[in-house]
């Protein structure tokens, strides 16, 4: 009687340690030809919540599974993807939507486990960092500002990027740390729901953001005077608004899934000050007109707390039917005095970021905008376009402020392609924009008075 030899799986992971935007090659060898092996990935993310994925693979004739080459035969993703076990993760015994560590100076640690049908197991590990060696983190609490500054290793000066979060508020340290790891001095600036600031987005004064921009020019001494603004969702709306309102302070605008006009406070609004219809931005104490301000066309509101629809963005199309109000609420993007990058998902179900981005591009074209304009519009991607190589499975979630459920849209596969493509596209855009900034640096006066 012949005894079947027991295979002994072995992991090869290259590189084991790296930044979160670096794909890895994950190979399992030592298997029998055509043998099935289940591979799982477990990562401890924020607040001690474990995220996990699993997929089963069939070894080739040499007893090897290479995730860069092989699609799983079953499991949490279904295509060839070197990092599918990371972006396919979901939280275990939790509804957490927090993807990043509590301390971005510490890398995320993932344990990979391979198990054969005979119960033979092997383990491998990989680390995904946000801050490269030498990146420095400093909390900023001055001039009324609340944020975190990340400085790259090596001598400056460096181009500067101000990083704004969306309607979840807080301080976007993960993106800023990774930008610093790629050579930019990154100032993650909170504007609500951060220590010492309002818990709501309602009546946020643009003067606060102006102070942050002036502080960045004055204190950070950016290379060639280059200060870009990057924002996500409501932060994307805000990035466009800052570029249009303070063009002498904003060298370039990066707007992820943005609005093309000012909206009301929506899910981040203070219930005591108008709720979702409340004012979001003020200037000189005067509220900026917004799309929900006595809108004659809107008759359905997803923020009322009823059972959520699959597509929240239908209310935005209704809002645009009040054309006179939409024009008053429109962000005058033609005033932006630098390059503009727009990033959107064609299946955005939170609001129509693809349409909004196209509206911005059209306006800039009509006004013969003299600077670079680029629009990255991703198939099968929703509202939650994030950093690369993170879980992209959270298609629906509770809003972090209102706790009302909403749908992001997209598919995990489409979202992860947008995560990767938008990050690499943003770095390419920044390289072009910052590289050309020196030509116009002499004409910029960051200490001039704000345009009226």
Catalytic residue among 348, 357, 420, 422: 348
Q: How far is CA 51 from the centre of its chain?
A: 19
Collapse the DSSP code of 153 into the 3-class scheme (helix H, G, I; strand E, B; otherwise coil) and give the result.
coil
Rounded to whole angstroms, the Cα distance separating 393 from 242 reads: 32
Is the sign of the CA dihedral 176, 177, 183, 186 positive or negative? positive
Rounded to whole angstroms, the Cα distance separating 181 from 292 reads: 40
Residues 6+ apart with CB under 8 A from 438: 223, 224
Catalytic residue among 76, 383, 420, 422: 383
Instruction: Say which residue the tokens 């800039």 belong to.
Output: 364
Torsions phi, psi for 315 (to 5 deg): -65, -30
Catalytic residue among 233, 251, 413, 436: 233
Q: How far is CA 195 from CA 158, 191, 198, in A?
A: 27, 10, 8
Rounded to whole angstroms, the Cα distance separating 122 from 74 reads: 20
H runs (alpha helix) in 321-442: 323-329, 353-366, 412-440
233 is catalytic: yes
Rounded to whole angstroms, the Cα distance separating 102 from 151 reads: 19
383 is catalytic: yes
Residues 214 and 188: beta-carbon distance below 8 Å:
no
Structure tokens at 433: 């924009």
From 389, 302, 307, 316, select the one nearest 348 (Cα to Cα).
Answer: 316
348 is catalytic: yes
Which run of H or E residues covers position 374? strand 373-378
The catalytic site residues sit at: 233, 348, 383
């Amino acid at each position: 009687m012949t005894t079947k030899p027991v295979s002994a799986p072995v992991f090869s992971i290259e590189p084991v340690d790296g930044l979160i935007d670096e794909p890895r090659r994950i190979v399992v060898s030592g298997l029998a030809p055509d043998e099935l092996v289940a591979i799982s990935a477990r990562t401890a993310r924020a607040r001690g919540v474990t995220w996990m994925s699993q997929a089963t693979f069939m070894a080739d004739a040499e007893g090897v599974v290479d995730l860069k080459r092989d699609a799983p035969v079953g499991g949490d993703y279904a295509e060839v993807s070197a990092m599918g076990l990371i972006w396919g993760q979901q939280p275990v015994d939790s509804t957490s939507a927090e993807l990043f560590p509590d301390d971005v100076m510490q890398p995320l640690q993932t344990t990979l486990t391979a198990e054969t049908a005979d119960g033979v197991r092997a383990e491998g590990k990989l680390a995904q960092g946000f801050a490269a060696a030498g990146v420095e983190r400093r909390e900023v609490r001055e001039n009324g500002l609340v944020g975190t500054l990340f400085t790259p290793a090596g001598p400056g000066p460096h181009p500067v990027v101000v990083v704004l979060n969306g309607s979840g508020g807080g301080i976007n340290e993960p993106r800023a740390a990774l930008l610093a790891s790629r050579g930019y001095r990154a100032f993650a600036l909170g504007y609500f729901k951060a220590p010492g600031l309002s818990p709501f987005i309602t009546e946020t004064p643009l003067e606060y953001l102006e102070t942050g921009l002036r502080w960045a020019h004055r204190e950070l001494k950016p290379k060639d005077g280059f200060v870009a603004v990057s924002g996500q969702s409501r932060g994307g709306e805000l990035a466009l608004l800052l570029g249009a309102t303070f063009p002498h302070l904003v060298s370039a605008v990066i707007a992820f899934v943005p609005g093309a006009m000012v909206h009301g406070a929506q899910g981040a609004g203070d219930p005591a000050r108008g709720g979702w219809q409340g004012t979001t931005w003020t200037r000189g104490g005067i509220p900026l007109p917004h799309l929900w301000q006595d809108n004659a066309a809107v008759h359905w509101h997803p923020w009322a707390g009823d059972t959520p629809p699959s597509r929240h963005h239908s209310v935005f199309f209704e809002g645009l039917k009040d054309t006179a109000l939409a024009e008053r609420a429109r962000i005058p993007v033609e005033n932006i005095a630098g390059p503009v990058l727009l990033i959107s998902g064609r299946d955005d179900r939170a609001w129509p970021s693809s349409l909004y981005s196209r509206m911005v591009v059209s306006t800039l074209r009509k006004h013969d905008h003299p600077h670079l304009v680029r629009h990255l519009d991703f198939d099968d991607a929703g509202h939650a376009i994030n950093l690369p190589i993170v879980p992209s499975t959270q298609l629906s979630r509770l809003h972090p402020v209102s706790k009302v459920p909403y749908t992001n849209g997209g598919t995990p596969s489409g979202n992860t392609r947008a995560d990767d493509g938008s990050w690499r596209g943003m770095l390419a855009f920044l390289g072009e924009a910052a590289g050309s900034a020196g030509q116009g640096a002499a004409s910029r006066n960051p200490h001039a008075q704000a345009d009226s």
